[in-house]
Amino acid sequence: MRKKLLLIVVLAGLAVVSCQNQKTESKTDMENPFFTEWNTPFGVPPFEAIKEEHYVPAVVAGIEEQKAEIEALVANTDEPTFENTILALDKSGSLLNKVTGVFYPLSSANTNDEMQAAAREISPMLSKNRDEISMNPELFKKIKSIYDRRNELGLDDQQIRVTEKYYQDFERNGANLSPENQEVLKGINGELSMLYLQFGENLLNETNKNFKLVIDKEEDLAGLPEDVIAGAAAEAEKAGETGKWVFTMAKPSWTPFLQFSEKRELREKLYRGYFMRGNNDNESDNKEIIKKIVKLRDQKAKLMGFTNFAAYKADVNMAKTPENITNFLMELWEPSLKMAQEDVKAMQAIADREGANIKIESWDWWYYGEKLRKEKYDLDEAELKPYFSLETVKEGIFYVVENLYGLKFVKRDDIPTYHKEAEAYEVLEADGSHLAVLYMDFHPRDGKKVGAWSTGFRDVTYRDGKRMPYIGEIVMNFTRPAGDAPALLSFDEVETFFHEFGHALHFMFVDGKYDRTIGSVPRDFVELPSQIMENWAADPEVIKVYAKHYQTGETIPDALLNKLVKAGTFNQGFVTGEYVAAALLDMDYHTTENTDIADVNQFEKDAMDAIGLIPEFVPRYRSTYFSHIFSGDGYSAGYYVYIWAAVLDTDAYDAFKQSGDIFNKEYAAKFRTLLETSGAYDGMDVYRTFRGQDPSKEPLLRKRGLL
C-alpha cells in the first residue's frame, strides 16, 4: 500500500530540507545518490547506483536537516500563519522522503541481509525522530494557534481540513500529554518499531528459509497438473535439489498442491508448514513478540485516553467504534459459517463415497473443495488456467483501464529497474500526456515477501506549484512460467492482479495541494479503489477479452465461462468465513481487558471457540504469521477494512451495472473524481458524492451468495 495511506503517525513521512542544503560535501556524500539530483527518465530512482551502504548515512543526514528545519519553524517570531506553520510543515521532508521512498519498497520486494541490518538501524532512528517532532510543545503550540483560529483566518476548505488533520495527528501522537507521559510514549513507540521489524524478519525466515516440501518419488506427484509439477521441478533446480520437486510457502506453490495432490499425508505436511509459521518454538518464533506488542499497544491507547487500542484506531476510521466493527463482522460471520458447514457436509459425503475413511480436516478443504466444485458446476481449476496467461490478463487490465479512463501503458526498457524481473511502464493520459511510471514485479523469489501489494517510490506531490507525478509499483507472487508454458494464473491470482492495479490507479490519480491530505483516506476506505477492480475482472464481458488459450489463442468457450460465472458464489462460506475469523481475532487482541497474555495459542483458540469456528478450517491468518497486524501498525485493529470496503466496492460497481454499461463514461468520470479528491473530504462524503446515496450491503451479500 501507498506510504501515505498507511500512515498512522502524522510525521512518518516528514523529513528534511532538500539535498541542495546539505552542509557536508565529503567524497562519501558526493558518491551517495540520495545527495544528488536524479537525471533519470521521469526522476525514477537510479537503482543501479544505490547501494545498501547508502541508506543509513542518508537517513542520518535527513534527520539532522529535519531537526534544523523544525527548529527554524519554531524559532520564527512572526505570528503563526497558515503559510509559515502548516504549509511549511506540510512541504518539508524532501530528503527523508526520498530515502525511505526507495528503502521501504525494496525492503519488501528485494531485501537481503544488508538491507535487514540497515532496517534494524534505521527503524529506531525514525521512530525517535517522529516522536521528537510530534511531541514538540512549541511546534504544537503554533499548530494549535492556527487550529483555534481556523474559521477566522479566511482559509479555504482545504486549508481548514489540512490544519484540522495536523492538529488531530499531533493530538493522537501525544502532543497533549504531560512531559512524563510523552517520555513513556516515546519508549513504547521505539520498542514497538523494533518488535514489528523482528516479527517481519521471523516471518520472512519461516516463509522463505525454514520450510520446504521436497518430493523425490514420482508417485508422490499423483493428481498434480503438469504445470504445477514443472514449476516444482524448476524450484528444486533453483534449490540445488536437481531431479526432485520442491513446494514452498509461496501461495502459487502450496495452493495447487492442496487442491490437487492425492497424497493426503503430504497435503497435511505442507499445510502444517504453512499454518505453523512463527509457532515452532525456534529462533523465528513470534509468540513472545505478539505478547509484547499487544501489551504495549494497550498501554499506548490508555495513555491517549482510550479504553483499548481498537477504540484508539477506530476513532479516525469510518466505523468509529470497535462495537460497530464487531457487529458488522458478526452479521457476515453467521451466514458464512452456515454456508461453510453445508460445504463440509457435502465434502465429507464425497470422501465417504470414495472410501477415503477420513474426517475432513483443514488440509483437506482445498482438495475436496475442488472435487465439490467439479461435482456442482463441472468446473475444474486446471481447465481454466490455460486461458489465464499473465500477458493476456495484463492486456485485459489495460483494456478495462483504457475503456474507463482512456489511459495507455507503454513498456519502457530505458527506465532503470531494481531487479531484472521488474517491468517499467509509462502511463499516458488519453491526450498523450504523462501521468505516472508504474513498475510491475510478478514472481516469487528469495528476498521478496509473500503476498501482493502496491506501493510508491514517489507519491504525488506539488513542489513550487508543479505537480510531481506518481512513481510506483505493484508486486505479486504469481506462478512462474514452467516448461514451454507461460505463467498461467488461477482465477484468484487474476483478481489479485486487478486488485493491486486498482490501488495503483488511486495513487496515480490523487490530486491536491497538501501532502498531508492528498489521497489520505480512512483505513476502511483504502480498499475501495482496489476491490472495485475485481468486479471488472469477474465480469463475463471483460473475461471474454482477456481469457485466451495460451496455445491456440481461442477465447474461453461460452460453456466454460458460464460454469465460471455460476461458480462465482462457490466456497464463499469458507472464503468469507476464514477472512472474518481473522478480522475478529484481530479485534479480540486489541479489545481484550487482560493484555497479560499467558499463551498466544490458547488466546487464539479461545477467540475462535467463542465464535464457533469449525475445526475444518483455520483463520486466514493465524496469530504468529498475521503480518497485517503484527509486522506494523497499519492494519492493526483494522483487518476488517477489506470487507468494510467490499460493501462500498460492490455498491459502486452496482451503479455501473444498473446503468447497462460497465464502462459508463459518466460514472467512470465520477469515480475518477472520487479517487482524485479522496483525502480532501471525509470518506463517506466522497463516496456519497459519487453514488448519490449511502452504500447498501445487499450487492455484497448477493455477490457472495450470503442473502
Q: Is 692 exposed, middle or buried (0-12, 13-18, 19+ CB in 10 A)?
A: exposed
Give the pLDDT confidence of 407-424 residue by residue, as tens digits.
Answer: 999 999 999 999 999 999
pLDDT of residue 16: 29
Cell numbers placing 613:
469456528
Instruction: Name the residue with cell 499506548.
Output: 300
Sign of CA dihedral 291, 297, 299, 301: negative
> Residue 336: pLDDT above 90?
yes
Give the CATH number of domain 296-707; options: 3.30.420.40, 3.40.50.300, 1.10.1370.40, 3.20.20.70: 1.10.1370.40
Instruction: Report the DSSP pairing between strands 470-475 and 434-441.
Output: parallel
pLDDT, average across residues 530-548:
97
Higher pLDDT, 626 or 524: 626
Instruction: Report the DSSP pairing between strands 423-428 and 453-458.
Output: unpaired
pLDDT of residue 382: 86
Instruction: Name the residue with cell 509457532.
Output: 279
CA proximity to 98, closest of 54, 134, 159, 140? 54
For 368, what's the count of Cα atoms within 13 Å in the CB-facing half-sphere? 26
pLDDT of residue 196: 96
DSSP class of 482: B
Do 296-707 and 3-205 fall under one CATH topology? yes
The count of residues in the chain is 707
For 198, what's the count of Cα atoms within 13 Å in the CB-facing half-sphere? 17
Q: Is 303 exposed, middle or buried (0-12, 13-18, 19+ CB in 10 A)?
A: middle
Provide the whole-model pTM. Answer: 0.86
Which helix or strand (DSSP H or E) is residue 101 part of?
helix 94-109
Give the amino acid at 452: A
Which helix or strand (DSSP H or E) is residue 475 part of?
strand 470-475
> Residue 6: pLDDT above 60?
no
Q: How far apart are CA 644 and CA 580, in angstroms?
A: 11
Q: How far apart are CA 294 and CA 587, in angstroms?
A: 11
- In DSSP terms, which residues pair with 410 in a beta bridge? 426
Looking at every residue in the chain, the average pLDDT score rounds to 93
479 — pLDDT class (breaks 50, 70, 90): confident
CA proximity to 524, closest of 620, 642, 633? 642
512 — pLDDT class (breaks 50, 70, 90): very high
> Residue 28: pLDDT above 60?
no
Phi-psi region of 273 (alpha: psi -120 to 50; beta: other; left: phi over 0): alpha
Q: How far apart are CA 67 and CA 69, in angstroms?
A: 5
> Residue 294: pLDDT above 50?
yes
pLDDT, average across residues 457-482:
93
- In DSSP terms, which residues pair with 455 in a beta bridge? 473
Q: What is the DSSP string of 508-537?
A: HH---S-TTTTT---GGGTTHHHHHHHHHH
CA proximity to 292, closest of 683, 674, 596? 596
For the chain, the domains span 3-205, 211-275, 296-707
pLDDT of residue 228: 92
Which residues belong to the active site?
500
Describe the chain by its helix, strand, coil percentages, rounded to 5.
Answer: 60, 5, 35
410 phi/psi in degrees, rounded to 5: -115, 120
Give the pLDDT confidence of 57-74 residue by residue, as tens digits.
Answer: 999 999 999 889 999 999
Q: How far apart are CA 227 and CA 478, in angstroms?
A: 13
Torsion angle of C-alpha atoms 24, 28, 33, 39, degrees rounded to 10: 80
> Residue 15: pLDDT above 60?
no
CB of 208 closer than 8 Å to CB of 249: yes
Give the amino acid at 393: V
Give the CATH number of domain 3-205; options: 3.30.310.50, 1.10.1370.40, 3.40.50.2300, 1.10.3720.10: 1.10.1370.40
Instruction: Name the residue with cell 490544519.
Output: 163
> Residue 120: pLDDT above 90?
yes
Torsion angle of C-alpha atoms 306, 309, 312, 315, degrees rounded to 10: -120
CA 474 to chain centre: 10
> Residue 464: pLDDT above 90?
no
29 — pLDDT class (breaks 50, 70, 90): low
Cell numbers placing 598:
499467558
Contacts of 612 (CB under 8 A, 6+ apart): 337
